[in-house]
Structure 1
């Protein structure tokens, strides 16, 4: 395949990898490898188990041939702190899932925000105006920014500990999004869309899940390795639309590859529709 990248720096043999703990389950090598092969870029992408305690030393020891990294849990906050500069999403969330080596050091990006926004649009809820976020952890912050990006005007945060959502509410108000907090089992008014940011194995009482489903519109669950989750099962029992997080994983990886190629997420990849299609096949085939 001949692309505009034929005489660009993307022809250089660079190395990339995903780091995290655990890491064996990661689908990122399959996604990136499929894209690089289609584009004809001589890039390598691997995986490495790196925990919080060893992250700093591992990053310092990374050879110059490692041009970029994808970071999964529990390294996103550490990656943010290691970066000398950040994109707007990483700055707002305090988390970076992408590091790129520059002349000045590492630059940090958060492609979870853009990836989720693109996934929600693909799921047919890109015009939602009112939404619920289930959970109040770090991923909930990325979810809030993604919802703001697609134009959501009101957000309810459903959390086991409502006090844990204070920072999220403050960020929503800063963004101009009306926000309220409700205990997990006591949702407020009906919404168009529910985004769950709970871990896949998080226990949720069936009664709580049923109440969330009854007023929750479409469910998008960021979990992609465990399906259905407790919430996904409740939505399915109710006959309501429910989506696992595989498309978020796909689209955030596309944005990562853009960053690896050009240093920013704005410039589309050569023949990007074909790249997305081959990445989707690699993801679903796994």
Structure 2
């Protein structure tokens, strides 16, 4: 398959990694190495502990054998200052979870390219659950993942979103960004206890256990919850959701699909260009994921 991606960069040995803190239980190496093995590429993808404020020294210490990096928060925002070429989505959101070292026009130079694959990962996770189009949706949480969720929901056709935020006064940026996409956001205060959710799709962007106090109430059986927190799985929120007839989707699905787009970006420099025989690659990536969420005791990070 690698022959279809003809650049010399693709055929040579390259290094990649996911950065963050903590990062020791990340599933990203499993996903990426499965993809590169299936593609026949001699690439090695690892993980590296890099905290806030440590990104630039790490980048400056990398050799020419490095091809790309996956980034977790808060590095997704910190990297923006160092990127020289970005996809339209990164330019729009000012959030990048993917960095690629490309050859510059001058000999010996490297250009830092950035992409955001989180949005597409959320979209694909919802599509896999049967959500192709929708007019309304709900988002729980108001951080960086909420921004990507709003963009994904807009791409799926949503024109109104109810946003549940612990501190509604901090959600102004989300409201303004969504307005640019033709989406009206109604911000309400998130508290524990019973929570009526009336849209056919809900994305919870809260970290692990942060949604444990929520008692969901659905408008109809079959409503879909994408819970980006997948350790442990099923989460308390997902268990309650399923008990009242809803469909709960693990954040592992989002992780899988955003990784597929990252592989595209590392191979082609284009996160929208499909890989050779991509369904086979996706199956290989899915096969290395733990069944039914995470094994007890494992606490992976995106």
TM superposition score normalised by structure 1: 0.92
Name the CA shift for 1:105/1:39 in 2 (closer, same or farther; >3 Å): same
Query: 1:19-57 CA deviation, whole Å, 9 max, x = no partner?
Result: 111111111111011111111111111111111132210
**2:217 alignment partner, SS class:** helix
8 A Cα contact 1:158 1:187, kept in partner:
no
Partner residue in 2 for 1:213: 217
Aligned partners of 2:26 and 2:217: how far apart in 1? 29
8 A Cα contact 2:138 2:162, kept in partner:
yes
**Which of the residues 116, 125, 132 maps onto 1:119?**
125
8 A Cα contact 2:196 2:217, kept in partner:
no
**Which of the residues 257, 269, 287 maps onto 1:251?**
257
Unpaired runs of 5+ residues, structure 1, are none
Partner residue in 2 for 1:92: 92
Count of aligned residue pairs for this structure pair: 282
Aligned partners of 1:179 and 1:188: how far apart in 2? 17
**1:239 alignment partner, SS class:** coil
Aligned partners of 1:79 and 1:65: how far apart in 2? 20
Unpaired runs of 5+ residues, structure 2, are 105-109, 295-302
Aligned partners of 1:84 and 1:10: how far apart in 2? 21
Partner residue in 1 for 2:65: 65
TM superposition score normalised by structure 2: 0.87
Query: 1:107-158 CA deviation, whole Å, 9 max, x = no partner?
Result: 1111001111111111111222210000011110000111111111211101
Question: Offset at 1:265?
Answer: 1.1
**Which of the residues 231, 241, 257 maps onto 2:247?**
241
Aligned partners of 2:224 and 2:131: how far apart in 1? 8
**Which of the residues 164, 176, 180 maps onto 1:170?**
176
**1:52 alignment partner, SS class:** coil
The residue correspondences of 1:1-286 to structure 2 (distance < 5 A) are 4-5=4-5, 9-102=9-102, 103=104, 105-185=111-191, 190-205=198-213, 209-210=214-215, 212-215=216-219, 217-284=223-290
Name the CA shift for 1:265/1:153 in 2 (closer, same or farther; >3 Å): same
8 A Cα contact 2:2 2:41, kept in partner:
no
Question: Offset at 1:258?
Answer: 0.5
Question: Offset at 1:190?
Answer: 1.6
Name the CA shift for 1:161/1:268 in 2 (closer, same or farther; >3 Å): same
8 A Cα contact 1:213 1:234, kept in partner:
no
Aligned partners of 1:276 and 1:28: how far apart in 2? 13
8 A Cα contact 1:84 1:106, kept in partner:
yes
**1:53 alignment partner, SS class:** coil
Which structure has the highest helix share of the two? Answer: 1
8 A Cα contact 2:5 2:267, kept in partner:
no
8 A Cα contact 1:182 1:188, kept in partner:
no
**1:46 alignment partner, SS class:** strand
8 A Cα contact 2:218 2:246, kept in partner:
no
Question: Offset at 1:174?
Answer: 1.0
- Identify which range, 215-224 or 274-283, moves more after superposition: 215-224
**2:289 alignment partner, SS class:** helix
